Amino acid sequence: MIFGKIQYLNLLPFHVFMKSFIRDSASKMSMEYKRGVPSKINRDFHAHRVDAAFISSISAQKSKYVGLGIIAKKEVKSVIVIPSEKHKSDLESASSNLLANILDIEGEVLIGDKALKYALAHDDYVDLVKVWSERYNLPFIFALLCYHKDKKLYKRIEREFLKHKVKIPQYILEKASISTQISKKEILSYLKLISYRVDSKSKRGLHRFYKEAKRTT
């Protein structure tokens, strides 16, 4: 199995979980990772270069997925727009660029750890999830765990991941802090803004996003 790995902080708990899952699983001998930013992983998945991955929601419309996603309910801090007269998309993104267009927010779109780092140091930004939530009173799903085959395996991953709260070891937290230049305390605070269970309200948010995307494009 080749899994597309996005190395953003919002998936840190999932990656920690997968280490233990693979260690305790019969599939451990065949597990490989292909790393990249969301836009690249999207392309790799649709080209069948990876078997499963968290795929940007706008790119996942025709794909099979389980009930795991990257979800924010009120704010997120890692998907922002820095207002300016000239619009600039983030090349790493798919859903977030479209979200900015739907919300009619002009400026430079930033996603991921670099966006979080900026948001922690400045206040001249627009949190796209906050605007989305205020407008539609719905969560926003940025990505869904999609797969090509082996549904039972990914349903098992979903069940096991959602069953327990993942505790991030200090050495992994320290490594993440060094690589992102974001403090361990801020990382843990940020992760409280992220949810992973695709519940009924999140699905309503997803369908609303697809509806608004059609209008925009």
Range from 29-38, 62-71, 164-173 carrying the lowest mean pLDDT: 29-38
High-pLDDT (> 70) share of the chain, %: 96
Can you name the residues that pair with 100 across neighbouring β-strands?
none
Note the pLDDT tens digit of each residue in 73-103.
999 999 999 988 788 888 888 789 999 999 9
Domain of 56, CATH number, reads 3.40.190.10
Instruction: Summarize the confidence of residues 154-161 as an average pLDDT.
Output: 95
Does the pLDDT value for residue 30 go beyond 70? no
Does the pLDDT value for residue 69 go beyond 90? yes
pLDDT value at position 29? 46
Max Cα distance, the chain (Å) = 54
Closest to 79 in 3D by CA, of 99, 53, 52, 54: 99
This prediction's pTM: 0.92
Helix (H), strand (E) at residue 138: none
Contact 191, 185 (CB under 8 A): no
Can you name the residues that pair with 125 across neighbouring β-strands?
none
How far apart are alpha carbons 199 and 29 in whole angstroms? 32
Query: How many separate domains does the chain show?
Result: 1
Q: How many CA atoms lie within 13 A of 184 on its CB side?
A: 8
Q: Which domain holds residue 74?
A: 2-216
